[in-house]
Structures are given as C-alpha cells and as structure tokens.
Amino acid sequence: MNNFLNDAFMNSFGSFKPPKNTSKYYWTRHSIGKMMQYGLSAQRVIRVIRSYERMEVGVAKNTVAVMQPLSVKKDKEGKKKWSQEIWVMYQFPNKFKIQN
C-alpha cells in the first residue's frame, strides 16, 4: 500500500524526476518535495548555488542561504528590479565550518 501512495504522489507532479545523490550534492526528501512544489529542477537549484545574487547565514546551524532573482529587469535609472526570488539553503560538508 505504501508504494501505491508514493507512486500516486509522484504521478501527481507530472514528469518530475527526483535528483540522484552524488559526491557533491545530497538531496533530502524535504528539498525534493519543495522542488516539486515550486516546479524547480535539480539543475536550476545547483545554478542558484553556483551563481547567486545574495548570500546570507542560514537559519539552521552551519547553513548558508543564497538567492537568485527571476526575470530581472532594469528601470529607467538602470537599477535592477525583480518580483520573484529563488532561495536555496544548503549545508557545507563536515570538513568546512561556518562561523556565525
């Protein structure tokens, strides 16, 4: 019965393919659920991590939060403006420690 529920849940999100864990990235069930909820691919999340607009200390211990805006436009003065942001919070491997 549990497999039936998992299959029904996965099929409700169309052709979403959960990312595979690698030596660089470990995807939690929570992160996969949020990616499905917001329609983000693993590649999009990795792109936010690699080329972010802003970085902050994450709310959880030893985490970093990075942001990348969606559909950036420039106003008349040349300032960047956007109405949506993608935030990604991640944790470094144990060998790196972040000082809060």
Stated pTM of the model: 0.75
Q: How far is CA 33 from CA 36, 73, 90, 94, in A?
A: 5, 30, 15, 24
What is the pLDDT, as a whole number, of residue 93? 78
Q: How far is CA 10 from CA 13, 16, 46, in A?
A: 6, 8, 22
Q: What share of the chain in percent tops pLDDT 90?
A: 58
Counting the structural domains of the chain, the total is 1
* Residue 96, in any domain of the structure: no
* Residue 97, in any domain of the structure: no
Q: How far apart are CA 98 and CA 48, in angstroms?
A: 19
* pLDDT interval class at 10 (50, 70, 90): low
Q: Is the pLDDT of residue 8 over 60?
A: no
Strands (E) in 1-100, as ranges, are 54-57, 63-70, 73-74, 80-81, 84-91
Q: Residue 69's domain spans which residues?
A: 2-91
Query: pLDDT tens digits for 15-51?
Result: 888 999 998 999 999 999 999 999 999 999 999 999 9
